[in-house]
Each structure stands twice: as C-alpha cells, then as structure tokens.
Amino acid sequence: MIKALLSALLVLVAVSSAFGKYIPKTGKRIPQTLSRGWGDQLIWAQTYEEGLYWSRSRNKPLMIVFHLADCPHSAALKKVIAEDNDIQKRLDEDFIILNLMYETTDKHLSPDGQYVPRILFVDPSMTVRADINGRYRNRLYAYEPADLTLLKTNMDAAKKLLKSEL
Amino acid sequence: MIKALLSALLVLVAVSSAFGKYIPKTGKRIPQTLSRGWGDQLIWAQTYEEGLYWSRSRNKPLMIVFHLADCPHSAALKKVIAEDNDIQKRLDEDFIILNLMYETTDKHLSPDGQYVPRILFVDPSMTVRADINGRYRNRLYAYEPADLTLLKTNMDAAKKLLKSEL
C-alpha cells in the first residue's frame, strides 16, 4: 500500500516537473546564442556599448560583424569564419568581438553605407578604423569567403593599436 | 591488409574531426544565450535598437531588464521571473523583451539613475514609460522577488498603449 502511494507520488512529481517549465504554444525552442553561429566557443559582446567597454578596459581591438539571418552572403562568410581555427583562435585571444543584426545609432560604423556582411574594426581608443578595408571598392568593408587571407591581414593591422594622444 | 588500411583511415578521420573545432586553451565553453537565464524559451532582442524595431513593427511594448552577473538582487529576481510561467507566457506573447548588462547611451532609460535590477517599459511609440514604476521611492524601477504581483500589474499598464499623436 505504502509502495503504491509512493509510486503515485513519484508519478505526480514527474508530471508536475514536466509541466513545470514554460513551453511556447509553437513548441520548445532552442535558446538563441550570442555567437549566432560565428564561433560558438568564443565570448561575444552583446551590444556595441559592451564591446567598447571591453575593448578599452582590455586594450584589445574590437571587431564588429554586421550580418543578417536570411542573407546568403552572410551565411557563407559565417561558415568559413566559424570553421577556420586560426581565425577563431585569434578572435578569442586578441580581439573583443561583436556580431550585430541591427544597425547601431553610431554613423561611424557605416562609413560607406549599411550593408551586410560588413566587418569594421574599432581601436581601443574608440576610433573606428575606416582605414582597414576589404577588396571591393563599392563596399569597402564587405568580405567574401575567398577573402579570409585578406581578413587575417586586416586583423593584424587592427592589432597595431593607434597611439593615443597624450 | 585493406582492412588494416581502412581502420587506420577511420582513426585518422576520427582524430582530425576531434581536432576539427576550435577549443579555447581554458577548455570548452558553454555558449552564452541571449536569455542569460531570464527565460530560455523566450525570444530576446539583442540590442536596444533591435528591441525598438520589433516593438514598433509588432506594436507591442518593450520590457527592458537591466541586471549584472554578480549582483545577488539581480539573481534573485531572475530566478522568480524565470520560474513564473504566467510571466513567461505574457512576456512571450505580449511583449518584446531585452535584458542588458551594459547601459545604453539613451538617458531616458535611467530616469532616476543607473542601478540593477531595474525594469523599464517602452511604448511602441518609442516613449519610455517612466510613469510605470515599482514600490521603492529611492529606486523607482527596482523590483524584488516579492514584487512579482506589482510587476504583473505594471505589465498590464504597459500593454495599454499610448495613443500616438496624429
């Protein structure tokens, strides 16, 4: 009898814990990560303000990737960046990183317009490095999957920090 | 012989795929989610700009939670909000939601100072609802775990959208 009661209790506990967590009408969702697939093992800043803060306090350049979920060019670039261990290691160790799907209010982050994918570097002195760009004249901050070597060269350039005026 | 070669090949593939993904020196990390524990099944905006965009386009009020990782008051509030299915459902269905650990540049989001935890509502007309506040006179937008009923009342107030001037 006690055994039966205990069993019933166990079932009750199991049922109530199954119903314990909120589940959306449309079904369970996979929580969205800050990486959004650009490097799941890396530590991403959430906002531009946060990125600037970490860049200044750790004296590392900030790399910002603007992208969109339904943009095939963004997806192609994401794939090669996420799969390139050399870039992932450099981003992890030498950069503060941020990926954004919505533009900020800072116009310095769109020197030649708002498009995706677009990669901008910001010096710890909070200067946007508009001088570091890719190979396309009409979209200076765009990169294609074939441009990874140039991107690495540009990362090296961003690592040479600007002298802050004293 | 062929069997041995095949085995060797299999081992090689296994080894190379084990080394395939970048793993930080400090060990594998759990990817950070946008929810940061405030409701893993909810869809969180990443930035204030994104939150405002969704609020306007879906005509839903935006609720912003300012918090900090190492703040026990934030952690206590997070726990009760994440575990309250009624709040989770309302947030999921009736609100655009954003949680931030870094302040934005918009001073309207800190009507009586920058402190955590702090909850602000923004109308789809982009007006910060400074009129919707908690029970503490010195920190108008602070909530404690015992204030969930007041928070729900305030969510109802935020759902009554401001008439946009025509």
Contact residues, A window 69-128, toward B, CB-based 8 Å cutoff: 85, 88-89, 92, 100-105
B96 vs A7: which has the higher pLDDT: B96
Distance, in angstroms, between B163 CA and closest chain A CA? 26
Query: Which tokens in the block code for residue B138?
Result: 């010195």
Is A25-159 a CATH 3.30.1380.10 domain? no
Q: Which two tokens stand for residue A30?
A: 């996979």
In chain B, residues 140-159 whose CB comes closer than 8 Å to chain A: none
**Closest CB to A29 among B22, B41, B100:** B41
- Rounded Cα distance between B64 and B53, Å, is 14
Non-local CB neighbours of A130 within 8 Å, separated by 6+ positions: A108, A111, A120, A140
Pure H helices in chain A: 2-18, 48-58, 72-83, 85-94, 148-159
- Verify whether the Cβ–Cβ distance A104 to B47 is below 8 Å: yes
Mean pLDDT of A104-121: 97
> Min CA distance, B102 vs chain A (Å)?
6
- Of B20 and B55, the one with more pLDDT: B55
Confidence check: pLDDT of A143 > 60:
yes
Q: Is A164 on the interface with B (CB under 8 A)?
A: no
CA distance B89 to chain A (A): 7
Residues A110, A146: Cα–Cα separation, whole Å: 23
Q: What is the pLDDT of residues B106-124, one digit of tens each?
A: 999 999 999 999 999 999 9
Domain ranges of chain B: 25-159
**A3-29 average pLDDT score:** 73
Candidates B22, B28, B32; nearest CB to A33: B32
**d(CA B2, nearest CA chain A) in Å:** 32
Which pLDDT tens digit goes with each residue over B71-106?
999 999 999 999 999 999 999 999 999 999 999 999
**Range of lowest pLDDT (A18-22, A155-159, B126-130, B132-136):** A18-22
